[in-house]
Amino acid sequence: METRTKDDQTEGDPDFVSSVSLRHLSKELKYNYYDCYTQHEGGMESMDGHAKVIIKYLADQILPGKIIEAGSRAEGTMTPSHDGFGYTLQADSDFMYEIDTTGFNTTLTLEDTEHPGFVNFCIDSKEHLPYIFLNSVLENEFSKCMRISPSKLKLHLSLAFEILINMMKNNLENIDHDIFEGFQTRTEIIGPAVRLKCFPQEEIFEPECTFMLGNEDELEDTDLPKSLKVREIDVALAIRFNDWPKQASGWLTRQRKWPNKSLLKISADEGFHVVPKSSTKDITNYEWRLSFARVDCILLKSIANTSQCKHCYRIFKCFVKYHLSHPKLVSTYHCKTIFLWTLERFPPDTWTEDNLGHRFLGLLDGLLHALVMRQLPQYYIPSDNLLNKFKDKTDFVDTVCQKLSDMRRNPFSYIYRLGTYAWDDEMQGFTIEEMIHWNEKPEKERYPMSEEDIFYERNQDTENK
């Protein structure tokens, strides 16, 4: 007797775990998350104004370099969010700042460490280093090799940001001097990046661009999301190396269905970066993390923004963000890693509207399996387990696994419509009762031409009760 697996299921079959119709699930995912299908190209032209000024001053006053596109904005994988006034496509204000090392006049070398995915970043001379690097050097009396401390480097960058902002506020002749007026600012270190937080102090309303501001203590007292009032800008310093790292050599040769050889070559030619992030929180740890953010961007930009696999990935990210945020264990990077591994088995051209539900459940299965096993291999360096730090957080991981397992068994219970006027604490999208009522309607009535028809009917039902 032939045994069938989950991968053998067709869109007309019921799901093995939840018993829901995969065809039905595909339609409901597309319908309830249709705004994930509205995707615009990313680009630095949409960078937040505060970020533009900070980066400009960083390059002019502290450290020569340039912005490198990375993250969901560049990859075309932003997810929709409702802000109380309408839709916005969410993208983290995360920027890689590639340092121009041509003036360092030193040899840059990397030493492997006992932790996969991490290296020691070394130089042989500090004579021409910028001061931000100069104060981060650890000299070795037995060797000419000097290491750069990632924790000290980020600390000095944080201080430099504070100095820059004071300079801008006091420089009345500069056209950008007033961009931080009315803002309190604070810097903090988040992973490999320095985060600049800007807290507005007054309320400004403009017809064309609603910009909600308020005192930091009042941010939680308003009905509008905090993102409208606080600007967070993450800047990760990065140093580029043009060759491909030995630790990731297996990625170029392993058997898979995607990416093809041509895309592999383009990706490898891009090289890699190192960013100031150690494997532990110990400030005496001098490790830097290998970063493949630009390669991620190349791979994902090779897939059309309108492709079904990108739609499915955005829906997956929405599910994780809105249903697995407490406790906060699963990151968008974990989601992207699951997605990239899945693409190796199921290339982009095999994702269709009809198998959307099947592929979506496959992503949930991959995440659940990774969390249960506490094992998620980094995409380029599989020996680097991204969930290794969760092994001592059993209670938190078990809580997320239980919720994810329930999502997997009852997917319809977690399908919320991210629609206009549906974003409130009492009713985030459709309730399961409304969904059942909607599913009983003829298909031509269930898929109206505009979302206003949906909410008009809901409001009418509410008024008649």
pLDDT at 174: 56
Evaluate whether residue 222 is within a structural domain. no
Assess whether 53 and 119 both reside in one domain: yes
The model's pTM is 0.80
CB 296 within 8 Å of CB 70: yes
Residues 279 and 425 in one domain: no
Backbone angles phi, psi at 396, to 5 degrees: -65, -45
Write the burial class of residue 302 (CB in 10 Å: 0-12 exposed, 13-18 middle, 19+ buried): middle
Same domain, 238 and 382: no
What residues pair up with 82 in beta bridges, in sequence order?
87
φ, ψ of residue 443 in degrees (nearest 5):
-60, -35
Domain-terminating residue out of 304, 339, 366: 304
Asked, for residue 219, whether it belongs to a domain, the answer is no
- Looking at the domain assignment, is residue 207 inside a domain? no
* 155 and 80 part of one domain: yes
**402 plus 261 within the same structural domain:** no
Q: Are residues 17 and 126 in the same domain?
A: no
- Is residue 164 within 8 Å of residue 61, measured between CB atoms? yes
Please tell me what DSSP assigns to residue 61.
Answer: I
- Residue range(s) defining the domain that contains residue 97: 41-178+186-198+228-304
Q: Does one domain contain both 310 and 402?
A: yes
208 domain-assigned: no
* Sign of the dihedral defined by the CA atoms of residues 321, 327, 328, 330, in that order: negative
Co-location of 52 and 7 in the same domain: no
Residues 161 and 291 in one domain: yes
What is the pLDDT, as a whole number, of residue 91? 52
In angstroms, the CA 462 to CA 455 distance is 10
Same domain, 24 and 162: no
Q: Are residues 234 and 372 in the same domain?
A: no
Q: Does 114 share its domain with 50?
A: yes
Q: Under a CB-based contact definition with an 8 Å cutoff, are residues 297 and 279 in contact?
A: no
Q: Give all strands (DSSP E) within 131-252, no chain letters.
A: 137-138, 146-148, 183-190, 193-200, 231-241
| pLDDT tens-place values along the chain, 465 residues long | 333 445 555 556 889 899 999 999 998 888 777 666 655 444 444 455 666 677 777 777 788 898 887 788 788 888 876 444 444 555 556 788 899 998 898 999 999 999 999 999 999 988 889 888 888 898 775 567 899 999 999 998 888 888 877 777 776 555 454 556 666 778 888 889 888 877 766 443 333 333 333 333 333 333 334 444 566 778 889 999 999 999 999 999 999 999 999 999 999 999 999 999 999 888 888 999 999 999 999 999 999 988 999 999 999 998 898 888 888 899 999 999 999 999 999 999 999 999 999 999 999 999 999 999 999 999 999 999 999 988 888 889 999 999 999 999 999 888 854 433 333 333 334 444 444 454 445 544 544 434 344 344 444 444 444
| CB distance 5 to 287 below 8 Å | no
| CATH number of the domain bearing residue 440 | 1.10.1410.40
Give the total number of structural domains in the chain.
Answer: 2
Residues making up the chain, counted from first to last: 465
